[in-house]
Amino acid sequence: MTTALVSSWNEWDPLEEVVVGDPTGACYDVTEPGHRPKRRGPRRDLPFPRGPKPADAIARARAELDGLAALLEARGVTVRRPAPRDFSPAVRTPDFTVEHQYGVACPRDVLLTVGPEIIEATMSRRARYFEHLAYRPLILDYWRRDPRMVWTVAPKPTMADCMYRPGFWDWPLEERHRRMHDYEFCITQDEVVFDAADVMRLGRDLLVQESMTTNRLGIHWLKRHLEPRGLRVHSVHFPLDHFPSHIDCTFVPLRPGLVLTNPDRPLQRGEERLFLDNGWQLVDAPLPSLSNEEMPEFCQSSRWLSMNVLSLSPRTVVCESAEHALHELLDGLGFEVLVVPFRHVYAFGGSLHCATWDVRRAGESGDHLPRQSYAPLDG
């Protein structure tokens, strides 16, 4: 074999193979210490549903995910899908019980490709504890066929009650604002915790957001695991985001030298120097077409899912079809903009970047931030 099956170093090189999520068997978000789902719109005061999602909602989301898969295949990308599973059974471990599981519409949350390595993230929510099992047949197949592939499983946390901060979800917004520079959220610092979707890859440099789904120990684990091989791990923070979860609606590298940024969530002061000192351009995304209240009733993400784009190459980006202002911005920046409808997928955990996990992109690791004025996370 002369070509690696698993190799992806950044978010923008030409996409060659990808896993697209599947909504089959998905359940509603579970209320648990690491997550408190809420409805939107006129029925926001009603209890949040429990158990499996209805067949018509799954069918609509599947049609959109299948449409994305068809677009990618038409562009020459190999598309693979996770094996369907039933997520309705409860999970019981020595440390916790949760009434049902979640689903696999968003593989980006669980799996991280760094060069020839696939890393299974710890995850932060009990309902997603065993989500990686849906991808194991694919990962095992890559491992068998690619002798250079490295398969790493991050240490599973207990998800016991002590892993979560009591009372967090009841703090008033004023309390969150007062504590915004503490970066202490619903998970404590007692165990290694990170979701893969809190990581952005830029060649030698990886950005990791400290959030409700990734703690400092999780960032330290990634640093100690990756930096001995010459990579650099940077902790990044967005203090105006009081409930941060996953970086791909906040800070989205589109190609070397260009990042799509969230005007509501600027980087912590000083952290932007890493990019500006290397000549990168930080461009604010336009306002999304929907307000937070207009988002789908059971969607748990903010309106900034508009930013959750998928790059097929440094010049081609896939966007949600209704985000016309973003299309115009990207067109003006020299991108070919491809569009697909994706609003029904929103309630299954995310948009285009969330719903995909790139396994192979053409290109090698590059040093796109050679001036390290903002040093990597201290050991």
CATH number at residue 178: 3.75.10.10
4 in a structural domain: no
As a whole number of angstroms, the distance between CA 63 and CA 345 comes to 9
- At 379 the pLDDT is 39
Question: Smallest Cα–Cα separation from 134: which of 246, 26, 51?
Answer: 26
Question: Smallest Cα–Cα separation from 283: which of 256, 299, 262, 304?
Answer: 262
- HSE-CB for 379 with a 13 A CA cutoff: 7
376 in a structural domain: no
377 in a structural domain: no
Domain count along the chain: 1
Which of 237, 246, 344, 368 is the catalytic position? 246
Average pLDDT over the chain, rounded to whole? 96
Residue 181 known to be catalytic? no
Residue 195 known to be catalytic? yes
Which of 27, 249, 319, 354 is the catalytic position? 354
3 in a structural domain: no
Query: Residue range 133-159: average pLDDT?
Result: 97
Quote the domain boundaries for residue 235. Answer: 15-361
Q: What is the pTM of this model?
A: 0.96
7 in a structural domain: no
221 in a structural domain: yes
As a whole number of angstroms, the distance between CA 195 and CA 203 comes to 19
Q: Beta strand pairing status for 117-120 and 111-114? A: antiparallel
Which of 22, 29, 146, 195 is the catalytic position? 195
Question: Smallest Cα–Cα separation from 164: which of 105, 112, 95, 115?
Answer: 95
Instruction: Please report which confidence band the pLDDT of residue 94 belongs to, taking 50, 70 and 90 as the band edges.
Output: very high
367 in a structural domain: no
371 in a structural domain: no
Residues 164-209 pLDDT 10s: 999 999 999 888 888 888 899 999 999 999 999 999 999 999 999 9
